[in-house]
Amino acid sequence: MASDVREQLRLRLEGLEAAGIDWLPKTSGPPEGFEFAAASPELVPVEEPRREANSQEGRQITLNVLRERVSRCERCPELAVSRTQTVFGVGPIGAEILFIGEAPGADEDRQGEPFVGAAGQMLNRIITGCGLRREEIYICNILRCRPPGNRPPQPTEEQNCREYLDETIDLVGPKIIVCWGATAAQNLLRSTVGITKMRGSMYSYRDLPVICTFHPASLLEGRSPQNKKYVWEDMQMMLKSLGKPIPVKNA
């Protein structure tokens, strides 16, 4: 092929130059010892491997496109002008578990990742207690922008972000969803029931089982740490539904 011929010629000329020969007489044929590669009778184009839209790679590409679209979103003017950046979500495509929180706080707005503040540290301890790793769970929020002053999301803001949430769920393809706190649970399930009554039961959304439990922030000292036992009950229900072992808690 032409590329082979060029490579042979280049190597030949470099060898001559190294030997101190910096010119060649005009000749009607190739230099002695130089062989042309045989021409291929038929060149068959090599196709790039196709990425199926529903493959893990294809879904990751689509999720990245969605992430970029969200980063430019201005559907909620108040949030768009006050945010440092959007907080899309973290975790692998194909994660068995998808966590949904309320909205980014100050730490999340600054770092661009959900659950990284004090509530995030509590969530990490819960994950570890379940015998899991944060890196194997997909984590996102109802909103992709921090509400000013960490106020609760407004109904119009939740609705504006719902498309992004649903697309994320479809692309990640989890086996179970866990809603952390009343805002996430009520928004996802279109419910007005309080989280105290919602937790402890299994629900369904887009044919996926859903568990609702207390927000990690509510378990911090000075709030309602006594609810940790209920969260652990909900986590056991999650693990059982996935067929995963339940770690023995230390007394």
Quote the tokens at residue 56: 């893990």
Instruction: List, in order, residues 6 or more apart from 192 with CB less than 8 Å away.
Output: 186
Q: What is the mean pLDDT of residues 208-222?
A: 97
d(CA 148, CA 79): 7
Q: What is the mean pLDDT of residues 97-111?
A: 97
Confidence of residue 54 (pLDDT cuts 50, 70, 90): confident
| Polymer length in residues for the chain | 251
22 pLDDT more than 90: no
Bridging pattern class, strands 208-213 and 202-205: antiparallel
pLDDT at site 25: 55
Instruction: Say which range, 38-47, 51-60, 118-127, 188-197, has the weakest mean pLDDT.
Output: 38-47
When the pLDDT of each residue in the chain is averaged and rounded to a whole number, the result is: 88
50 pLDDT more than 80: no
pLDDT at site 26: 55
Bridging pattern class, strands 97-101 and 137-141: parallel
Q: What is the mean pLDDT of residues 31-59?
A: 61
8 vs 99, residue with greater confidence: 99
**CATH number of the structural domain 56-242:** 3.40.470.10
pLDDT at site 24: 58
Instruction: Say which range, 44-48, 89-93, 173-177, has the weakest mean pLDDT.
Output: 44-48
Give me the residue label for tokens 């907080």: 87
48 pLDDT more than 50: no
DSSP string, 220-240: STTS-GGGHHHHHHHHHHHHH
Please, what sign has the CA dihedral across residues 93, 97, 102, 106?
negative
Instruction: List, in order, residues 6 or more apart from 29 with CB less than 8 Å away.
Output: none
Q: Kindly state the DSSP code that residue 157 receives in the 8-state scheme.
A: H
192 vs 13, residue with greater confidence: 192
Confidence of residue 250 (pLDDT cuts 50, 70, 90): low
Residue-wise pLDDT tens digits, 137-179 = 999 999 999 999 999 999 999 999 999 999 999 999 999 999 9
Give 5: exposed, middle or buried? Use CB within 10 Å, 0-12, 13-18, 19+.
middle
181 pLDDT more than 60: yes
Total Cβ atoms within 10 A of residue 219: 21
Q: 84-101 burial, b if ≥16 CB within 10 A, otherwise e?
A: eebbbbbbebebbbbbbb
What is the CA 161 to chain-centroid distance, rounded? 16
pLDDT at site 135: 97
